[in-house]
Amino acid sequence: MQKLNIAIPQDAVWILNKLNEGGHEAYIVGGCVRDSILGRMPQDWDITTSALPEETKTIFDHTFDTGIKHGTITVVLHHENYEVTTYRIDGEYADCRHPDEVSFTKKLNEDLLRRDFTMNAIAYHPKEGFRDPFHGQEDIAAGIIRGVGGPAKRFQEDALRMLRCVRFSAQLGFAIDPETWAALCANTALIQKISAERIREELQKLWLAPFANKMPLLWESGLLAQIDATLSASLIANSQTLLEEISLCPKDNILRWCIVLQHYPIGEVKGFLKGMRLDNHSLKRISLLLEELSA
């Protein structure tokens, strides 16, 4: 049985075991499994289980409802929060972001099918090993980002996944599977349904990502043009210089925004940043630095 590169925290193992003792399946799942396989330290340890939310709440002393409508309960243990979510099947996504309704299931594979990419659709239990019906481990080993099932459907369900796809490529240095890339390019207009706050969060992670050579995927796909046509034209015209400068720039959010926006019309920068819902402190610092650069 393959071993994870990073040990699961004992508290997370304890939660898995308590759910198992209650007669339920339980696994760590998603990004924490992916990062562990890659030898990266997970930020969160998410757990998926066959237990219904009400059953989860009866097993643990300290919980609170995070998103009980969607099956998520937060278990608090030693001042740490662990999200425990019931296996579920998502309904329609009318807003291209959240399912209108969910139904609970007892089948792990049905829960994994609703996830975005194969590398994020892997479950793991210390005693059972990996549950990986969509071959996510193989894609991680090959450095490929591949949509689970039909990638077009995954993007149409949640349009933010398109930005996440590009951001993961730049963070991990992975290539995007051709079918997934074609589906992304065909659905870029759906990004307009996503809130500016969520788009900004993904862009900021992208600006800070270590594989700057993957950043052009943002505008080559047509995705950036749907977010802001002026910025897209600016980065396309200055792509080579941008990549060189951003690779040399300290990993600082303000400085990276300045590099990205240095050829943006100076009189329109504040409007763009306000539209991205950037905090006022960062907005002022970026605007001042860009004004000095253009002086």
94 versus 111: the higher-pLDDT residue is 111
Exposed e or buried b per residue across 246-280, where buried means at least 16 C-beta atoms within 10 angstroms of its C-beta: beeeeeeeebbbbbbbbbbeeeebeebbeebebee
Cα(178)–Cα(175) distance, integer angstroms: 9
Average pLDDT, whole number, for the chain? 93
Q: Are 16 and 126 in contact (CB under 8 A)?
A: yes
Judge whether residue 294 has pLDDT over 90.
no
Residues 6+ apart with CB under 8 A from 107: 87
Sign (positive or negative) of CA dihedral 276, 282, 284, 286: negative
Quote the distance between the C-alpha of residue 121 and its chain's center.
12
Cα(86)–Cα(73) distance, integer angstroms: 9
pLDDT, one tens digit per residue, over 128-150 is: 999 999 999 999 999 999 999 99
Q: How confident is the model at residue 233 (pLDDT cuts 50, 70, 90)?
A: very high
Residue 290 burial (CB count, 10 A): 20
Q: Cα angle vertex 255, ends 253, 257, to 5°? A: 70
pLDDT, one tens digit per residue, over 251-272 is: 999 999 999 999 999 999 999 9
What pLDDT is stored for residue 97 in this prediction? Answer: 67
What pLDDT is stored for residue 99 in this prediction? Answer: 67
Q: Which residue type is seen at 49?
A: T
Cα(61)–Cα(58) distance, integer angstroms: 7
Judge whether residue 66 has pLDDT over 90.
no
- Rounded mean pLDDT, 217-233: 97
- Rounded mean pLDDT, 212-217: 96
Quote the distance between the C-alpha of residue 252 and its chain's center.
20
Ranges 61-70, 75-84, 113-122, 196-205: which has the least confidence: 61-70
Judge whether residue 96 has pLDDT over 70.
no
Judge whether residue 293 has pLDDT over 90.
no
What structural domains and CATH numbers belong to the chain?
A: 1-142 (3.30.460.10), 150-295 (1.10.3090.10)
Q: What beta strand segments (E) does the chain contain? A: 26-29, 47-49, 63-67, 72-77, 80-86, 88-90, 102-104, 123-125, 129-131, 144-145, 175-176
Exposed e or buried b per residue across 29-42, where buried means at least 16 C-beta atoms within 10 angstroms of its C-beta: bbbbbbbbbeeeeb
Cα(112)–Cα(164) distance, integer angstroms: 18
pLDDT, one tens digit per residue, over 78-95 is: 999 999 999 999 877 766
Cα(56)–Cα(72) distance, integer angstroms: 9
pLDDT, one tens digit per residue, over 4-30 is: 545 799 999 999 999 999 999 999 999
What pLDDT is stored for residue 176 in this prediction? Answer: 98
Backbone angles phi, psi at 230, to 5 degrees: -65, -45
Q: Which residue type is seen at 123?
A: A
pLDDT, one tens digit per residue, over 245-254 is: 999 999 999 9
Q: Are 125 and 160 in contact (CB under 8 A)?
A: no
Judge whether residue 179 has pLDDT over 80.
yes
Backbone angles phi, psi at 27, to 5 degrees: -145, 150
What pLDDT is stored for residue 1 in this prediction? Answer: 38
Give the residue from 21, 29, 36 showing the smallest Cα distance to 125.
Answer: 29
What pLDDT is stored for residue 70 in this prediction? Answer: 87
